[in-house]
Amino acid sequence: MEYCFPAVLYFAAIILFRQFQDRSQAEAFYSDEQIRMEIQAAQSVAMPMKETAFQIFITELSENPVMSADLELNISMPDMFCGVFPAVIVESEPGVYTATAVPVMQGLWQAEAALRWKDQSVKVRTLFKVR
C-alpha cells in the first residue's frame, strides 16, 4: 500500500486547490439563470481611517441593469472582533452601486454585499488589505 501514498496526496492536493479556487471565484461573482452580481474594489490601496469604496454590478439576465436594488454592504475583519461597519451605498449608474466604508485598522478585511431581489438573497464578498 505504501507506494500509492504520494499519488493519494497528489490528488488530495489537486482537489483542495480546485475547491479553494472555485470558492474564491464564486465569492466575488454570482450568476444564475436570473441574475448576475459582482463586487470589485474601487481602488487598489486602502488605509486605516480613510474611506474605501467598492463597486457592485447587478444585472438581470439579458443584461438589464437592476436599478434601486435592495442592497447592503458591510466590512469586517474575518478573524477579529473589531466590528462590522456598514457602507454608504449610492447607485452611480443604472445597476452599478458604489459602497463606501471606513476600515478602522490595518490588516485583512472583507467586504460583503448582500442583495435582496424578488425571492432571492444573493451575497458576494471580496477580501482587501488595509495598510
**Residues near Cu ion, by CB under 5 A:** 77, 80, 82, 105
Contact 97, 11 (CB under 8 A): no
77 or 89: CB nearest Cu ion: 77
CA distances from 79 to 30, 74, 119 (A): 24, 15, 31
CB atoms within 10 A of CB 21: 10
Q: Considering Cα of 74, then 116, then 127, then 65, what sign does the dihedral take?
A: negative
Q: How far is the CB of 53 from Cu ion (least distance, A)?
A: 20
Residue 40: strand, helix, or coil? strand
47 or 80: CB nearest Cu ion: 80
Q: How far is the CB of 35 from Cu ion (least distance, A)?
A: 32
Q: How far is the CB of 36 from Cu ion (least distance, A)?
A: 32
Q: How far is the CB of 104 from Cu ion (least distance, A)?
A: 7
14 or 105: CB nearest Cu ion: 105
16 or 82: CB nearest Cu ion: 82
Determine the longest span between alpha carbons in the chain, in angstroms.
Answer: 61
